[in-house]
Amino acid sequence: METSKAFHNFNRTAVRSNSLYGRYLIAESDTNANELLVEELPLVYGPKCNGPTVCLECYSPVIIEGCVVDQCCSKCSWPLCSKCSDRGAPYHGRWECSVFSQSKAKFYPVLCDAIRCPQLDCITVLRVLLAKETDPDRWDKEIAPMEYHNEERRKLTDVWNADFVNIAKYLRGPCRLANRFSEDLIMQVVGILEVNAFEARTTQGYALRCLYPITGILAHNCVPNTFRTIHPSEGFKIRLRAMCDLEEGQQLQHSYTYTLNGTSQRQEHLKAGKFFTCECKRCKDPTELGTNFSTFKCSKCDEGWLLSTNPLDSSCYWKCTICTFKTSNNAIQKALSVMQSEVATLQAMDPSPQKLQETEKLMRKYRVVAHPLHFIQTGLRQNLIEMYGRVPEYELSELPDVMLEHKEELCRQVLRVLDVFEPGLSRTRAMMLYELHVPLVLLAKSGFIASILTADALKQKLLDVIAILKECVDILKYEDSETQEGNLCRVAQQAMDQLIQSVEGLTVAE
């Protein structure tokens, strides 16, 4: 068995280590925004844990009828879609197929309505173990030093025991690998993947996870300074770029969690999955860098805002900025839990006029309790932005100017937050810019038709939109052209070209 040739390109970066971060990356020289920092292929990639039954080559859902796998590998009988089976499934064949064939380890389909197939949890772990055998030097230098937090993970008894049985015991038992891999080694690999792997998607949008030896050691910050793209059409090669200008020696950072969550939600995610408390500047600031992203309205006065006295301490209290009112962090978290439950109920609905109207109602309801830029309100704005122009009764051709102006304002408010948390190269920013350009164009044309805008004013409005689309394209041009983001880049480019032609037509008419 041969492994794929290792591919690293990180000439602009260097690996450093200390007691706080372990191993991490720095910029070796001053670096401009958008410049390439790291480029590498994954050591391996494979199915995510706790996922459904998927093809072990392309990760598409596999048909199961009557608890029988309708699509499987002709050699080992593990899940493969018919298309990948016909092609020979080279990646599956390179790794686990021979192990299952030789051991006669059977795949047992789960019930048709099950959303989780625990038997597939061993696949990516097994691929890492086989890669270790193929290239032990690379394992020693790049993979073994990765964090895996087994002591902390062992305290999560249910999760640890499930992994131990479904992965370690299974590989050493039915797969007959006891003489090759110890229980400790297998659980180390489980931890390495849990802590360091990145989620990726195929060109068809199916989820998987990849282990990158270099990019995987990036430090965390809730305001990242790097931007990564994963290219499924190039073997899931990852490219890491500077999100903003970097100084020589500056630590490279990305976010291990969702940047548009509030501090308590980010901290909870990091403690549960990455086993550390983030002490970045944003997390320590009660106002989250001036955005008031987790701030509540004081219930005792008209002008005051409730801020945490210590965002990193769950036993702290929250105090009004104007009056003397104080409340416990526990009370705040209970209120948040109720709000999040209401939001989750809405999100479970299919896109419809009713969902849009109920989302607007919820935003109005929360105005009296949360800051306008609170993360709950920001999330609702994102939902509304996606629905305006796309659901029945609210298609773009039917939206009056007042609703177009509303969508514009929704986009600008989300962008205000992104300006702080994801400055520069940001996939979310690019998508928001694309959403913003549509109401701006329609409002400009409407104003011109109504003789509210002169030809010169229309031209300037369109030039402003062209600049917005150019920024969108400049971000998305780094995405894999075969992905949804790559397709959006082409659509944005076409829209920009059409507007440029319109402006040129106005110039000629003058």
Confidence tier at 246 by pLDDT (50, 70, 90) = very high
What does the alpha-carbon distance between residue 90 and residue 97 come to, in Å, rounded to a whole number? Answer: 10
What does the alpha-carbon distance between residue 367 and residue 159 come to, in Å, rounded to a whole number? Answer: 39
Mean pLDDT for the chain overall: 93
pLDDT at 63: 73
Domain with CATH 2.170.270.10 in the chain: 8-42+212-254
Domain with CATH 1.25.40 in the chain: 296-509
Q: Are 295 and 307 in contact (CB under 8 A)?
A: yes
pLDDT at 5: 44
- Side by side, which strands form the sheet with 317-320? 296-297, 305-308, 317-320, 326-328
Q: Mark 249-288 as b/e (b = at least 16 C-beta within 10 Å).
A: eeebbbbbbebbbbbbbbbeebeeebbbebebebbebbbb
pLDDT(3) > 50? no
Residue 389's DSSP bridge partners are 395
Q: Which amino acid is at 164?
A: F
pLDDT at 281: 97
Q: Are 279 and 273 in contact (CB under 8 A)?
A: no
pLDDT at 505: 85
The CATH number of the structural domain formed by 8-42+212-254 is 2.170.270.10
Q: Which stretches of 41-136 are assigned E, i.e. beta strand?
A: 44-46, 64-65, 68-69
What does the alpha-carbon distance between residue 362 and residue 142 come to, in Å, rounded to a whole number? Answer: 49
What does the alpha-carbon distance between residue 257 and residue 275 come to, in Å, rounded to a whole number? Answer: 12
pTM confidence score: 0.91
pLDDT(301) > 90? yes
pLDDT(114) > 80? no
Residue 15's DSSP bridge partners are 25
Phi-psi region of 316 (alpha: psi -120 to 50; beta: other; left: phi over 0): beta
pLDDT at 116: 87
User: What would the pLDDT profile of 41-63 be if each residue is shown by its tens digit?
Assistant: 999 999 999 999 999 999 999 87
Q: Which CATH number fits domain 296-509: 1.20.58, 1.10.1060, 1.25.40, 3.30.160?
A: 1.25.40
Structure tokens belonging to residue 458: 């229309």
